[in-house]
Structure 1
Amino acid sequence: MATVTRRGVEVSTAGSLPPVGQAAPEANFTQTDLSELTLSDLKGSNVILNIFPSIDTPTCAKSVRRFNEAAARLDNTRIVCVSADLPFAQSRFCGAEGLDQVQTVSTFRNPEFGTTYGVEITDGPLRGLLARAIVIIDAQGVVTYTELVPEIGQEPDYGSALESL
């Protein structure tokens, strides 16, 4: 279990992020067209998992926009934005914003992702949503970088994450 804060109040998560240097745990997601996506489907590419509570909040929206901008400069890298939002909300947001370099996926059918990756918020008003985190997985499926953002309303360290590639 880890702790982060929301507006200065501590909240707990379901565990810890996967360790750097180890194989990334398998994960299943629902895409905006309601089809399934697994991490195994992405092997052969570097993967940035941009994990957050909800695409309909200002900080989460900023992170999706920021990674969408960065995506054009990255070779062999897929940016997957992960939340418990319904795929319809994710699709609406990206369509309205013109974001086409990132892929949004939902955990609504596969809530075990939050526990497996240690990011499910287990108490407080956001209980059941995902904490803000970055997990980078190399083309061989090994975790190379992680960040659990200490304050849910704070943006991740984009520079460190992108430099780790």
Structure 2
Amino acid sequence: MANVTFKGNPMTLPGNEVKKGDKAPDFKVLANDLSEVTLADSKGSVRIISVVPSIDTGVCDQQTRKFNEEAGEIDNVKVLTVSCDLPFAQKRWCAANGLENVATLSDHRDLSFGEAYGVTMKELRLLARSVFVINSQDEVVYAEYVSEGTDHPDYTAAIEAAKTAN
């Protein structure tokens, strides 16, 4: 289990830590239109899964923008931003920020993603800031659990992993 704090407070992350080389666990989350989305829905593409506690906060906002801007330069890469925000709030954030092509996904209903990737902060029922890069064969080629939830992830390392994944 990864060691993560949020605003300096230790968080419990039930589930297994996902590591480079693992087969990417499946999950079931909700899109903005309330349709279910699974890992298989993006099969054949390299995926950057950007996990944020809440899209309406400064660091989460910046993380979502940064990955979408950077990944737009890479062929066959999809960015999926996952949080426990309600789908309606995610949709409103995208519209208010002019980012209609951002794929925001809600794990609010089942915590399926959080449990499968070991990122649910039990104390807050939010997801811990983390980044996973999954290649087109559903293998994890990069995994980062950000040790302090209010810090930024290593954008450069994640983007480089996506560029070299196939």
Q: TM over 0.5, yes or no? A: yes
- Aligned-residue offset at 1:33: 0.9
Match of 1:18 in 2: 18
Q: For 2:121, what is the secondary structure of its paired residue? A: coil
Q: Which moved more, 1:84-93 or 1:98-107?
A: 98-107
Deviations 1:41-63 (A, max 9, x none): 11100011100111111111111
Q: Which moved more, 1:101-110 or 1:33-42?
A: 101-110
Match of 2:38 in 1: 38
Q: For 2:66, what is the secondary structure of its paired residue? A: helix
Deviations 1:91-132 (A, max 9, x none): 111111111342000012221321111000022xxx211000
Match of 1:162 in 2: 159
Match of 2:106 in 1: 106
- Aligned-residue offset at 1:72: 1.6
Q: Which moved more, 1:2-11 or 1:140-149?
A: 2-11
Match of 1:77 in 2: 77
One-letter amino acid matched to 2:71: A
Report the identity percentage: 44
Match of 2:68 in 1: 68
Match of 2:148 in 1: 151
Q: Which moved more, 1:1-10 or 1:32-41?
A: 1-10
One-letter amino acid matched to 1:155: H
Q: For 1:49, what is the secondary structure of its paired residue? A: strand
Q: For 2:37, what is the secondary structure of its paired residue? A: strand
CA distance in 2, matches of 1:67, 1:83: 15
TM-score, structure 2 as length reference: 0.92
Structure 1: stretches of 5+ with no match in the other structure: none
Structure 2: stretches of 5+ with no match in the other structure: none
Q: For 2:127, what is the secondary structure of its paired residue? A: coil
TM-score, structure 1 as length reference: 0.93
8 Å Cα contact 2:29-2:112 kept in structure 1: no
Runs of 4 or more, structure 1, over 6 Å off, are: none
CA distance in 1, matches of 2:115, 2:153: 20
- Aligned-residue offset at 1:9: 2.2
The number of aligned residues is: 162
CA RMSD of aligned residues (A): 1.2
Match of 1:128 in 2: 125
- Aligned-residue offset at 1:85: 0.5
8 Å Cα contact 1:83-1:130 kept in structure 2: yes
